[in-house]
Amino acid sequence: MNRMEEIRLMARFRRPLRRGAFPQFWAAAAALGALLVQGCGTGSIFPDEHLPAGAFPIIQGATSSGVAQFGVLEPSNERFVYRAQDLTTGQVYEPQGVRPLEQKGSRFRAVTMRFVGLNFQTRYGLQVRRREKGGEPGEIVDYRRFKTLDIDREGARILVASCMDDTYKDEALRMWKQAAKDEAQVAFLIGDNAYADKDVGVYKGPADPATVWKRMVETRQLIPYFRNRDLTPVFATWDDHDYGVNDGDRTYAHRRESTEIFKAFFPMDGIAGTYEEGPGLARSLRYAGQRIVFLDGRSFRSPNGQGGADETHLGSPQERWLETLLSGEPVPTWLILGDQYFGAYHGFESYERNHPASFRRFLTSLKKSKSPLFFVSGDRHLVELMAIEPGVLGYPTFEFTTSAIHAKVFPSSWDKTPNPRQIEGAANALNYGLIETRIRTGGEDADGAARFRWDLNLRARGDGKDLFERDLEISR
């Protein structure tokens, strides 16, 4: 059986692993696990290649230089013990803030945790051990390797993906296998990370919490990125389908429960000095000389087309939080949103089209900031790069839209509704973004603020090929 077949089997396998299954396998795992704990002497690299990897879906969530968060989808009829271990010295770390979340009737439990006191120059092993009756850790049933982030590194390679429909199984296997080979330092999953309001590809309407949970479980089991032996830190926000309702807004009856479920599947607790929590799922990450802002485009938005004095896409609390962030020290800043910003040219969802008055206020606020801005979005089931003219913010910049990594895609409609800002685009093709980014500073402007040159190499990665590649520069 090759690796692809193993992943497919795991994705379709729903029964919890049992001690009686594959006794020779479990015995070998236990023996190797004991060796891992005992160590081979200070300064040694601990052997781990033969430890079992991929039994459970595991995500490395929000991470800093010294803190790593994890989420594990484990069988609910068993208990497990988690440990992290320095693969050079053998030092063992206990998890903190362990939070299990279960849904009545589900055979799975989502567990989040964090490990602290780590170092980005060190490689670690994450052990998942079966809990014995006395509470002691038993055999290793899953094992991963991970590192923390060098937050102050000069440049970074970043994967950006959206729209993950679990009915596209073969496409998911191909695209995530390719993504793993791209070896990004971090991954940004920017919306529709599951289709909670669809089942077997059919839209079912607003999802109740049990359905959101079920669909998150099913999608998490499919994606092979979460079964890789070597984990990559993932930072996430949502759009309508993982929120729980198509074109969803603040009127969604299960907003609170859906938020709790999303956080259980995408660990995103704040980390002092690196990762700041905002309203709803809004977050701000400091990384590689940049600020990456993940906006929540669902929790606070008014219904599409409602208009009126309270028309909003982001909501007043999030707008104030963002304005405060951008009024501080100038930092090159990503603004990431599940749906498009500059989308008035088409008839689908976008900030500009659905809440035009709010969008004008938003741009006026952004224009006051000394931080150069780069817009990133998903949702559209196509990939395109837009050049935003200097008149909008006072300098030229870009919006990059990437969607879908595995979901339905459509033939181009740009012949009927052309995008006057588009400089690159591809339709009817699965895609994700791979962005290499670096900041250069030099001099000051008339107000004494630092001048930046922001270099980005942007690749729209298709199924086995690049759809386009562009070198971008944003200067402010």
Q: What's the distance, Cα to Cα, between the start and end of the chain in Å?
A: 54
- Detail the DSSP E strand segments found in 265-366: 275-277, 283-287, 290-294, 333-337
> Are residues 168 and 46 both part of a single domain?
no
pTM of the model: 0.89
Among 122, 146, 170, identify where a domain stops. Answer: 146
The verdict on 245 and 124 lying in the same domain is no
Note whether residue 12 is domain-resident: no
Classify residue 31: in a domain, yes or no.
no
119 and 241 assigned to the same domain: no
> What is the rounded CA–CA span in Å between residue 110 and residue 340?
31
Q: Are residues 65 and 213 in the same domain?
A: no
Query: Taking Cα atoms as reference points, which of 324, 216, 312 lies closest to residue 278?
Result: 324
Q: How far is CA 439 from the centre of its chain?
A: 23
**How many domains, in total, are found in the chain?**
2
Pick the closest to residue 329 from 284, 295, 271, 361 (CA basis): 284
Same domain as 202, residue 76: no
pLDDT tens sequence for the chain (476 residues): 444 444 443 343 333 344 344 334 333 433 333 333 333 333 335 667 778 889 999 999 999 999 999 999 999 999 999 999 999 999 999 999 999 999 999 999 999 999 999 999 999 999 999 999 888 889 999 999 999 999 999 999 999 999 999 999 999 999 999 999 999 999 999 999 999 999 877 888 999 999 999 999 999 999 999 999 999 999 999 999 999 999 999 999 999 999 999 999 999 999 999 999 999 999 999 999 999 999 999 999 999 988 888 899 999 999 999 999 999 999 999 999 999 999 999 999 999 999 999 999 999 999 999 999 999 999 999 999 999 999 999 999 999 999 999 999 999 999 999 999 999 999 999 999 999 999 987 766 666 666 788 999 999 999 999 999 999 999 98
State whether 285 and 137 are in the same domain.
no
| Secondary structure E strands in 323-396 | 333-337, 373-377, 383-388
Q: At which of 126, 146, 166 does a domain end?
A: 146
Q: Find all residues with CB under 8 Å of 265, minimum gap 6, and list them.
A: 59, 71, 73, 110, 194, 216, 220
Measured on CA atoms in the order 333, 336, 337, 342, is the torsion positive or negative?
A: positive
Instruction: With respect to residue 10, please indicate whether it lies within any of the assigned structural domains.
Output: no
CATH number of the domain at 92, please. Answer: 2.60.40.10
Do 169 and 133 share a domain, yes or no? Answer: no
Same domain, 127 and 159: no
Is residue 468 within 8 A of residue 460, CB to CB? The reply is: yes
CATH number of 345's domain: 3.60.21.70
Q: Tell me, yes or no, whether 5 lies in a domain.
A: no
Question: Which among 146, 166, 192 is the end of a domain?
Answer: 146
Residue 385 and residue 353: Cα distance in Å, rounded?
A: 18
295 and 270 both lie in a single domain: yes
- The Cα-based distances of 446 to 84, 164, 430, 473 in angstroms read 50, 46, 45, 21
Range of the domain at 67: 36-146
Does 262 share its domain with 187? yes
Q: What is the gyration radius of the CA atoms in the chain, in angstroms? A: 22
Q: Which of 235, 214, 274, 281 is nearest to 73 (CA)?
A: 214
Q: Are residues 141 and 238 in the same domain?
A: no
Residues 85, 230 within the same domain: no
